[in-house]
Structure 1
Amino acid sequence: MVFLPAIGQSQAQNDTLPDAVNKKRLLLLGSGFTVGYTGMIVGLNKAWYDNSERTSFHFFNDNREWQQVDKAGHFWGAFQQSRAGVDMLRWAGVPNRKAILYGGLLGVVLQTPIEVFDGYQADYGASVGDLVANTAGSAALVAQELAWNEVRIMPKFSFHKTKYAQLRPNVLGSNLAERALKDYNGQTYWLTVDVAAFQKEESKWPKWLGVSVGYGAEEMVYNHIETNEALGYQMRRQFYLSPDLNLHRIKTKSKLLNTTFYVLSIFKFPAPTLEYATGKGFKLHPVYF
């Protein structure tokens, strides 16, 4: 998304939108999208598929694998891509409802080719579960925009390094960038509720303060439960409760700062967190990433 920073202030209501479509901005978005998406596909192909064995296209049922953390990732990715699509079309002056409906498809449009790539991998294949998660992510964005004309429940992502990646670096990543993409043990996916948006205007609840629930899992060295257990690893789900910052609610006179807050709003802010892990119970983290 090369031109995402340009729309840092454009997640606004209809009264701030241009009266007519700006063709120059649309052209700029189209060319930027082409260049950015091509670069993303090339980079992803190198990071994920470069050393993989290829085969004919096929489907693969992976719904039981990785404790569904990967499905949460697809939901998050599609939601945020659709969010950017809507706001970029608004920035270009596209009427609001059309911007929501057309831009809301962006997550599915971007994610579907990845499933096509997966379909040619010998070790797995295209996943119907992933396609469903992608569609759900885009649909969740569209539903909120149509209902409230804004995002009030924001999917977010956080990551921390784990000891498990070094046990299978070819699968879970050999460097920090690859691990953030591949090591599901260190990934946590959140839903941050913009509490103030559900309150009356006179409410004293801070607009910048949200409440976030998260989901993750650990001890997933292998994607199958049986393989993990045979090697002494016990997969466990993790659930989290934490305060969070509604960065997209913070507005300043600086376009650069507003753009920065817009981009960073897709990530969960490190904060005190209560964790519940299956088989282990509750744990309080002074700061959790």
Structure 2
Amino acid sequence: MIKKNQKINKILNFSLLFIVAFYFSLQKQNLATAQNNNINSEVIELISRIDRASSNKDLETLNQYISPQFSSEDGLDNQTFLSTLESLWNSYTNLTYTTNINSTEENQGQLIINTTTIIEGSKQENGETVNLLSEITARQTIENQQLVGQEILTEKTRITTGANPPDITFRLPESARAGQVFDLDAIVEDPIGNGLILGGIKEERVNASLFTNPQPIELDALSAGGIFKRVTISEGDHWYSAIFIRDDGTTMITQRVRVE
């Protein structure tokens, strides 16, 4: 029998903590690539320091690189950013980050860095392995060797548990205009057959409160191979989540749609 309420609440908490991970963890193997691409050596050194602090889960040192005036488009400030990050580190002790610097530019004394980060991790929870995989592109704003602003450009997170999590294809745009209509398709690629599978989707506008207080998703028994919905998006970035649960595994996907 699927313990759906217990399982879905845990997965939601994992997801919304996961996506606020610090996106500046440049792995050593990428330093040579950055140097070959003529990335400013001061940028490489700064990101390397942040990488060491993040890898060591050294919140005190990391705080030196986060401006007291830090703000993000998602409504996080210095305090909420660091406290949520600490909660993430308490939940997952083996996160790995692979970050590429896509571009850098200077603008009125500020350094703008565009990055793409892949974050992977897993943990044991009640005898089950929870696997995380996320890809995020972000725009970071640096001033006086501190992070003063962060803007998430694209974001997609997949979380799985169990021996045989459902194989899900999630289709929706990465960006849209306010008022635009589009189709959200969450397709279960595995045959459902006679087995029971529960599924649900959720739409929510991104805001700071959701990082620490994720809302539940209503689940229904599925008789077809997925969930299909036509969406009209309102102003502000939105998260769209789909979750599918069966006795031998669970898959949840969360994707940001950026409203331009």
Q: What TM-score, normalized to structure 2?
A: 0.29
Higher helix share: 1
Higher strand share: 2
Q: Greater CA radius of gyration, 1 or 2?
A: 1
